[in-house]
Amino acid sequence: MSLLSISGLRKSFGDNVVLDGFDMDVAPGECVVLIGASGSGKSTLLRCVNLLETVDDGVIELAGQDITDPRVNPDQVRARMGMVFQAYNLFPHLSVLDNIMLAPVRVHRRRARAEAATAAQEILERVGLADKARVRPDELSGGQQQRVAIARALVNSPELMLLDEVTSALDPELVGEVLDLLVSLKADGMTMVLATHEMAFAKEVADRVCFLHGGQIHEEGPPASLLTAPTRERTRAFLARFVGL
Amino acid sequence: MTAGEHTDARRAWVPSALELERRAYRRSRTVRSAAIASISTIILVGVLGFVVTSSSGWPRVKETFFDWDKAVASFPAVLNGLWLNIRVLLVCSVLITALGLTIAVIRTLRGPVFFPLRLFGAAFTDLFRGLPLLLVLLLLGFGVPALGLDGVPQEAVFWGCAALVLSYSAYVAEVFRAGIESVHPSQRAAARSLGLTHTQSLRFVIVPQAIRRVLPPLLNDFVSLQKDSGLIAVLGVVDAIRAAQIETARDFNFTPYVVAGVLFVCLTIPMARFTDWVARKQGFQGGGLL
Ligand SMILES: Nc1ncnc2c1ncn2[C@@H]1O[C@H](COP(=O)(O)OP(=O)(O)OP(=O)(O)O)[C@@H](O)[C@H]1O
Ligand SMILES: [Mg+2]
């Protein structure tokens, strides 16, 4: 059974129909990379899945549960997913450690504070920032901030990770840092949906690449075939801009 | 490079001749500016002093407003009155912060259930920002006790404080609301995506950032409250101003008012400096936010 199953999803902002009958299934442990032109709805899709937007129509199921049902508590659904944003969105008034501990302490109350601190410290070690626990986010480089943001999403042991252009603000070396982290997450069997303009990302971590166009998946396939030999005209035109693939 | 090498490299740094020369130049500029500032201040004060003291009415003004003996004699009574202002100030500050923040949060709640609350919040701020403080003081201070309701306090101090709290909460609520709305929506999205509820997002993410941002304007409102606490004198409460008035009434020498004025200024200066300090400190950090 698929972990995430989206069918007939529609989302518009005023007259602008961004997602129009969108269908997608993600199997447990799978890593799906969304590519597409700016404005094609990659962020909108991730925000819909994270229930940060209300959908116009269609169904999103997480592990078989329809999360678009208004009777579902969105806070409980969100607590089962980790979302990482392009602009990191760390909380500037909290230290790195407190950023990571906020959700474990406040949302997953079963955890005692000391236990949460240990878990947060472990996860910081995993993203290679154990020595930065006490500093404020604005004292970190972009790549470090983004790794903290990923750690903050991971500490809740999410069933699904949603990552929205997590490297578009970073220079190539820092992209490498984050990419390594995602590769290791994937090796651990994490299910991920990732929007990116970084084709290297798609190549390295994707099981499947989906090209979004016209509010739907225009073309999809394993990275090796989709990125190098797209069959549809629109996909080819989009990928032609990324030289050296 | 390891961290150890890094610090060694730093310790070994000796400023270059160029940097030393730049520092010396900056220092000399600082001394020069300070000298110019002092000299121009002395000249200005001297000229003003001369113009005032050489005016024809000066001897009379000096006698009625700046009588040293009268000042010394009235000082204890005025200071005693000021102690009331200080207590009023402390109690009101706490209540104003609490009420102002509550109203600000109410006004940012979304959803139809909260419509009556939002309406109340908007009506409250509109009403009490519009009404002159003096009017609120008179209406509450003389109007409510006159109703003679059972169980309702009759003391003028109580109603004076109530008027201050109502008026100032309306201002402070708007300051807080501006702060809450200035926090970027992505912060809310990040908080919600972690599974925090609306209330938790406000409490742990939005409001702490908002308070930090509005601290300088907020403290400014409290500086203003310090002096407006003197307005409760109109209700007959013996605060610093009323005490000064009583002293004056004996011989129509107005020196006690000047004494009260000086005391009020002395009271607000530390607060004003503290406000400046906070604002300056935030100015250096402000750039790092989203
Ligand atoms: N809150 C909003 N209000 C109105 N329109 C919006 C809103 N959010 C997104 N849109 C519109 O939805 C469309 C899709 O935006 P989205 O952010 O999903 O694109 P994207 O594929 O993530 O683009 P990019 O690669 O530039 O991040 C755009 O036309 C955008 O203007
Ligand atoms: Mg986007």
Give me ligand 1 centre to Cα A215, in Å: 11
What was the pLDDT predicted at A110? 58
At B23-32, the pLDDT tens digits run 999 999 999 9
Pick the CATH number of B67-281 from 3.30.360.10, 3.40.50.800, 1.10.3720.10, 3.40.50.300: 1.10.3720.10
Percent of chain A with pLDDT over 70: 98
Minimal Cα distance from B186: which residue of A? A89
Residue B161 carries which side chain, given as an amino acid letter? C
Ligand nearest to the CA of A36: 1
At A66-107, the pLDDT tens digits run 999 989 999 999 999 999 998 889 999 999 999 999 998 888
Minimal Cα distance from B209: which residue of A? A93
On the question of pLDDT at A16 being above 80, the answer is yes
- B252 phi, psi to nearest 5 deg: 55, 35
At A21-43, the pLDDT tens digits run 999 999 999 999 999 999 999 99
Task: Find the CB nearest B200 among A81, A106, A152.
Answer: A106
Beta carbons of A43 and A239 less than 8 angstroms apart: no
On the question of pLDDT at A118 being above 80, the answer is yes
With an 8 Å Cβ cutoff, are A75 and B205 in contact?
no
pLDDT under 50: residue ranges of chain B: 1-5, 284-290
Give me ligand 1 centre to Cα A101, in Å: 30
Tally C-beta pairs within 8 A across A and B: 71
Q: Is A20 exposed, middle or buried (0-12, 13-18, 19+ CB in 10 A)?
A: middle
Whole-complex ipTM: 0.81
Residues 6 or more apart from A208 whose CB is under 8 A from it?
Answer: A30, A31, A32, A33, A220, A221, A222, A223
What was the pLDDT predicted at B1? 39
Task: Find the CB nearest A106 among B189, B196, B212.
Answer: B196
At A219-240, the pLDDT tens digits run 999 998 898 888 999 999 998 8
What was the pLDDT predicted at B281? 75
Residues of A in contact with B193 (CB under 8 A): 50, 52, 78, 81-83, 85, 153
Pocket-forming residues, ligand 1, beta carbon under 6 Å: A 13, 16, 18, 36, 38-44, 165
Q: Which CATH superfamily is domain A1-80+159-245 in?
A: P-loop containing nucleotide triphosphate hydrolases (3.40.50.300)
Residues B259, B68: Cα–Cα separation, whole Å: 10
> Hey, where are the domains in chain A?
1-80+159-245, 88-158
> Hey, where are the domains in chain B?
3-53, 67-281
Q: Is B208 on the interface with A (CB under 8 A)?
A: yes
Window from A4-8, A10-14, A81-85, A172-176 with minimum mean pLDDT: A172-176
Residues A66, A43: Cα–Cα separation, whole Å: 21
User: Which of A19, A43, A198 most suits a substitution to test ligand 1, by most atoms within 8 Å of the C-beta?
Assistant: A43
DSSP string for residues in chain A: --SEEEEEEEEEETTEEEEEEEEEEE-TT-EEEEEE-TTSSHHHHHHHHTTSS--SEEEEEETTEETTSTTS-HHHHHTTEEEE-TT----TTS-HHHHHHHHHHHTSTTS-HHHHHHHHHHHHHHTT-GGGTTS-GGGS-HHHHHHHHHHHHHTT--SEEEEESTTTTS-HHHHHHHHHHHHHHHHTT-EEEEE-S-HHHHHHH-SEEEEEETTEEEEEE-HHHHHHS--SHHHHHHHHTSTT-
Ligand nearest to the CA of A212: 1
